[in-house]
Chain A
């Protein structure tokens, strides 16, 4: 024992001698270094994308010094992408916000927390009904939940919507209309066993890199996996694809119907599966009358391969190639998509249609065969969708318009009956329109950067500085530039948190380091404002007994003053909020695991139910007998929340419809926008990582080389991109990372000095209210 200890000390001394590295310049600092015995590793989910990779965070002397992939996390099995490895570096940008600020005479001035909180509370006191919260798919579950309780349960104001509206809303409404409940049936395990992957407008190699590796690296083990890339741009993903099928934007609607048509007419229909599990409905509007199978078959007759070619540009041969994969009873087929299908003025429809293809071919709910919606943000699923931080929703899949639902929430929140308003709040685009017009007078923005990321910025965010805008963030952004109050927030492992990823995996982490300066948790900020309102006499901040809305008690029943930072800091309020939230999840069979169970697991996929032996068991595939505990005993597949209450999913007859803006004589190119591997969203975190910023320092415009040749444009040439809404000058990158189809251009949106959203269109899917960032019309002008 003694020897082992001495050995260890020797090791530590040796290790100490190796020193630490500075961020940019490696530097040995010899004996001053901290010994490795001061190094601890703790688990957390990655801060960035919806993949939800597990990381181990190395902490030494109160600072994050390293991040490694968590070998034991089944999502990523030790691998991370460039963003994940640098998640810790992203916390240490020199310009972290560390003091609350209030705009006085046009400039932001440092103030105390008390003053900032009081200022916000006074404003809400004056105009409680025209105040909104605009949140994020990067909110932790307790953050989203506390805002819901504050706004809907406290202020009785339903104006809460997240940036996830711009990201996943179409996937959500797609699932709700198809099988009556949000979140995918399949899981990442399906990626390991599928034979064919169909990517519906999805550049996985850059957007979900670790999941991409999970598929592609199977080939190195000698497994065969075929990849079909349906796209409008050749990307790194295309490089690994067996087939690249290029289509005209919006043509995806026709392609999906065209596949269904071929399956019905040329073989491939899985009659048994469809008879057991589906009903068919007319699909122009959201309600849709029932349709007979024969009527559906007739309806599909429009979508002949020739018609599909006319609308989508995809040849009959390629369409048959797609159909043949679904028709082959031996093949396990996996469809994947993300923003290509969701940021779409018919986003809900195309989501429905891809499910149709899988239902008709019976390729659903079987290992390796499913339609799986990938998520952009790390907790768009866990927070926005499951907690329901949306204008119309309440936690647990409840909606404000339903009286019973409101009553259920009022009971669980212990607030007086009738507190929750029945009128849905604004969805994201409408919220910013209302703020622009002055119908909303105030807004609290948390964990997001709308003055950078909303579409058609001028028409939606140009009056933000005239309103009362509070921004909680970790760095200065273009949105904090417009704010009245800026609150410095704790980031990632500077606070406790729970995220929910794309495959229904809920992952918990503990706070590991202190936030810098006076930065504080978003949850605390909400509770502190609520408390100030309570002190000012706002009735909504009281529970049924007249106590404070956010009442917490310790084991002895003593009240915890969570609004006091000193108390909050020492208490795991996250755990209490999460446990308060957990009963909501049981209302729609989305049962999440208890906090303490999660603390000891690398995430668990809900529904998580307790076995008779007391174990908490996760569910890899939902709706499938033998895996999902809620499947009725007589069914193989059970869509237990099916809209028609018949335990079936719906096949929707959704037609092709042209997009609202198509290229014409004046604006002859399609503009598509998106992310890049190195940067997360508006780049506020990743651009502060030297390694990532230097790898991808500025925005550019990709053109098809043939188009560029016609205009005599070379790489590096600055060009002016002009849409009906705005214009900007960008350097051209030809044959670079990606090559857009002829007649289209691509611009990444991460760079705040090149806000491409001045050009994008705010038109949105009428069902999901999600705008289309992937297609609008622009022209390209030479400037030199």
Chain B
């Protein structure tokens, strides 16, 4: 009970995929005369992630390097471009197909949003010097859900807003505290019900 099980998959598989992604794309410069910004597929973006550098393993571990549980994780790798939000989906797509979904790397858990870099800032160098030290102590992981009886499906111990796609965290890739033993089942919330009301003490139940 003292420690939440933290199972991780080997990163080798993912690193291999990423190694293939080391290409860069040219800057998108619109046609000056017509002022038309090239349509999305004008210059099909190459996978946007740069080659993992030395110590990449460490960089990828640093997915947890966020201020508190619930803060948007910083992006632990470089982008080829600073402004290629849609390129993120090359690897992190939340696809409808269950197999593709499982193949995606940390698939986006909130498909209704498109401006990735608005929240996920880059953290290419998690050991870079700080401006000043911080005394902030962040909220920890929410822990495990409860079971009605031994063997019953556990409840979801956290809010599900922005976390609609469970495999993002609980699938075989991504930063999972708990990895589902049955990733082939796609309708998670058929069995695992939400239990979030305790997060709202002032405004009561939602």
A632 within 8 A of B: no
- Are B137 and A22 in contact (CB-based, < 8 A)? yes
Report A222-233 CB contacts with B as 1/0, cut-off 8 Å.
000000000000
Within 8 A of A (CB), among B28-60: 28-30, 32-37
Residues of B within 8 A of A690 (CB): 67, 130, 134
- Are B83 and A236 in contact (CB-based, < 8 A)? yes
Query: Which of A11-19, A112-120, A132-140, A331-339 is the interface stretch?
Result: A11-19
B11 within 8 A of A: no
A234 to B68 Cα, complex, angstroms: 34
Within 8 A of B (CB), among A1-28: 7-8, 10-11, 13-26, 28
- Are B2 and A213 in contact (CB-based, < 8 A)? no
A213 to B115 Cα, complex, angstroms: 6
Chain B residue at smallest Cβ distance from A22: B137
Within 8 A of A (CB), among B145-181: 146, 157, 159, 161-162
- Are A217 and B68 in contact (CB-based, < 8 A)? no
Within 8 A of B (CB), among A237-269: 238-239, 241-246
- CB-contact partner of B202 in A42, A243, A321, A695, under 8 A: A42
Given known contacts A63-B137, A65-B68, A694-B74, what 7 new A-B pairs fall within 8 Å (CB)? A18-B141, A66-B138, A69-B162, A96-B135, A234-B29, A242-B36, A693-B131
- Are A23 and B37 in contact (CB-based, < 8 A)? no
- Are B143 and A18 in contact (CB-based, < 8 A)? yes
A30 to B200 Cα, complex, angstroms: 24
Write the nearest CB–CB distance from B111 to chain A, whole angstroms.
7
Residues of B within 8 A of A42 (CB): 202
- Are A28 and B37 in contact (CB-based, < 8 A)? no
- Are A695 and B201 in contact (CB-based, < 8 A)? no
Write the nearest CB–CB distance from B200 to chain A, whole angstroms.
6
A63 to B67 Cα, complex, angstroms: 14
- Are A85 and B119 in contact (CB-based, < 8 A)? yes
Pick the most buried of B27, B81, B121, B161: most chain A CB atoms within 10 A of its CB.
B121
Report B116-149 CB contacts with A as 1/0, cut-off 8 Å.
0111111101101011111111111111101000
- CB-contact partner of A677 in B121, B128, B206, under 8 A: B121
B70 within 8 A of A: yes
A501 to B4 Cα, complex, angstroms: 42
Residues of B within 8 A of A31 (CB): 2
A695 to B82 Cα, complex, angstroms: 12
- CB-contact partner of A20 in B65, B83, B128, B139, under 8 A: B139
Chain B residue at smallest Cβ distance from A95: B132
A168 to B37 Cα, complex, angstroms: 31
- Are B66 and A691 in contact (CB-based, < 8 A)? yes
- Chain A interface mostly helix, strand, loop or mixed? mixed
A719 within 8 A of B: no
Query: Which of A86-94, A481-489, A548-556 is the interface stretch?
Result: A86-94
Pick the most buried of B68, B123, B126, B195: most chain A CB atoms within 10 A of its CB.
B68
Residues of B within 8 A of A40 (CB): 201-202
Write the nearest CB–CB distance from A594 to chain B, whole angstroms.
19
- Going nearest first, the 4 A-B pairs with the smallest beta carbon separation are A695-B121, A23-B136, A92-B136, A66-B139
- Are A21 and B68 in contact (CB-based, < 8 A)? yes
Task: Give 27 CB contacts A-B under 8 Å.
Answer: A8-B198, A17-B1, A26-B65, A39-B198, A40-B202, A81-B119, A82-B118, A93-B131, A95-B132, A96-B135, A209-B118, A234-B30, A236-B85, A236-B117, A244-B37, A321-B35, A687-B132, A690-B67, A691-B65, A691-B71, A693-B131, A694-B74, A694-B126, A694-B128, A694-B130, A696-B121, A738-B82
Write the nearest CB–CB distance from A39 to chain B, whole angstroms.
7
Chain B residue at smallest Cβ distance from A15: B143
B205 within 8 A of A: no
A20 and B138 contact, Cβ closer than 8 Å, known pairs A236-B83, A239-B28 = yes
Interface residues of A, CB < 8 Å — how many? Answer: 99
Residues of A within 8 A of B119 (CB): 79-82, 85, 209
Residues of B within 8 A of A454 (CB): none
Residues of B within 8 A of A212 (CB): 115, 118
A92 to B139 Cα, complex, angstroms: 14
A60 and B139 contact, Cβ closer than 8 Å, known pairs A21-B68, A94-B134, A213-B113 = yes
Chain B residue at smallest Cβ distance from A228: B35
A63 to B68 Cα, complex, angstroms: 13
A23 to B134 Cα, complex, angstroms: 7
Within 8 A of B (CB), among A668-683: 677-678, 683
Residues of A within 8 A of B128 (CB): 694, 697
- Are A66 and B71 in contact (CB-based, < 8 A)? yes
- Taking beta carbons and an 8 Å cutoff, which residues of A are in contact with B? 7-8, 10-11, 13-26, 28, 30-31, 33, 36-37, 39-43, 58, 60, 63, 65-69, 71-72, 78-82, 85-86, 88-89, 91-96, 205, 209-210, 212-213, 216-217, 219-221, 234-236, 238-239, 241-246, 315, 317-318, 321, 677-678, 683, 687-697, 705, 735-739
- Are A65 and B138 in contact (CB-based, < 8 A)? yes
Write the nearest CB–CB distance from B23 to chain A, whole angstroms.
16
A79 to B114 Cα, complex, angstroms: 12
B187 within 8 A of A: no
- Are B65 and A24 in contact (CB-based, < 8 A)? yes
- Are A94 and B135 in contact (CB-based, < 8 A)? yes
- Are A243 and B135 in contact (CB-based, < 8 A)? no
B184 within 8 A of A: no
B64 within 8 A of A: yes
Report B1-34 CB contacts with A as 1/0, cut-off 8 Å.
1111000000000000000000000011110111
Residues of B within 8 A of A317 (CB): 33-35
- Are B131 and A687 in contact (CB-based, < 8 A)? yes
A94 and B202 contact, Cβ closer than 8 Å, known pairs A23-B138, A244-B37 = no
A63 to B65 Cα, complex, angstroms: 20
- Are A24 and B115 in contact (CB-based, < 8 A)? no
B190 within 8 A of A: no
- Are B198 and A37 in contact (CB-based, < 8 A)? yes
- CB-contact partner of B114 in A10, A17, A219, under 8 A: A219
A488 to B105 Cα, complex, angstroms: 46
Pick the most buried of B111, B137, B162: most chain A CB atoms within 10 A of its CB.
B137
